[in-house]
Amino acid sequence: MSVPSVPVAAAATASTDTGIDELTRLVVRGGVMVLTGAGLSTESGIPDYRGPDGTRRVTPMQYAEFIGSSEARRRYWARSYIGWQRFNRAAPNSGHRAVSTLQRAGLLDAVVTQNVDGLHQAAGAVDVTELHGNLDRVVCLTCGNHVERGSLHERLAEANPGFVDLVLGVAPDGSRVTSQIRPDGDIVLDDAVTARFHLPVCLVCGSDTLKPDVVFFGESVPKDTVGRCFDIVDGAHSLLVLGSSLAVMSGYRFVRRAARNGIPVAIVTASASRGDPEATLRLHTPLGATLEQLCRGLDLV
């Protein structure tokens, strides 16, 4: 089967229009499952993990490292405490709003996201399965108690007075923090600074094993979540992938399932993805503009 491919450089050309036309024909049939990745949130100021060539630009903390020591958790929470203040200010962009618009029009069914930022729900989407969890929640790995991230952040602020000023005032340019926040809310920070951070503890059991309720690298997605997503794929008329490189199996498995089921797979990303060989349509274009154009073509805006 011939697969239309629209490079970024051709975003404003007739070939892009052809890709949009085919995408419109697919979506207008309805029954679309949407799978989104970090690329959908980059226009909200949250960069993805990988560069245009697919190479990982940053190395997040691995699950085994996080659970391995209190010092590792101290490093994580110190960086995350600073990063959260920026991450939590992110707002839905035109891509998130377009997904919500298409869903309200009855064209999209369930939304499955690899993102942990909650921006789909903030844009008004419903029936969202968070494949990797959500940073708004925190779980104690010892006793299983859950708390909201906002309340934990307040406790961290009380336990670490002056920490933000310390971080932002140690260099002539006003910061030791890099400008690059990560998709998990983490941010680069000097080890000398993180060593001065006071770890949070669980208010129920007193353990310092608090962890954001998200799937870390090296950790498995819960089986019931995977099974629910497979059921969604099996009931879908098509699969639309938005902003995911599909470099990890947690998302790529659903593209493989859709291809085996013989349903169309459309992938819209800024650059090539692992799932391109299975795709019946791929558009390498900016997501916000592409999805806005899709909604206009369907007379939804």
**What is the DSSP code string of 110-151?**
EEEE---S-HHHHTT--SEEETTEEEEEEEETTT--EEEHHH
Beta strands in 21-132 (DSSP E): 32-36, 108-113, 128-130
Q: Where are the domains of the chain?
A: 5-46+93-132+220-297, 63-89+135-214
Confidence band (pLDDT; 50, 70, 90) for 130? very high
Confidence band (pLDDT; 50, 70, 90) for 49? low
Report the CATH fold assignment for 63-89+135-214: SIR2/SIRT2 'Small Domain' (3.30.1600)
Instruction: For residue 58, give both structure tokens.
Output: 């940053």
132 is known as an active-site residue: yes
- Contact criterion met (CB below 8 Å) for 285 and 6: yes
- Mean pLDDT, range 125-135, rounded to an integer: 96
DSSP character for 4? -
Confidence band (pLDDT; 50, 70, 90) for 58? low
Dihedrals φ, ψ of 167, to 5°? -65, -45
CATH class of 5-46+93-132+220-297: alpha beta
Dihedrals φ, ψ of 5, to 5°? -130, 125
Which residue in 96, 120, 132, 284 is the catalytic one?
Answer: 132
**Over 70: is that where the pLDDT of 150 sits?**
yes
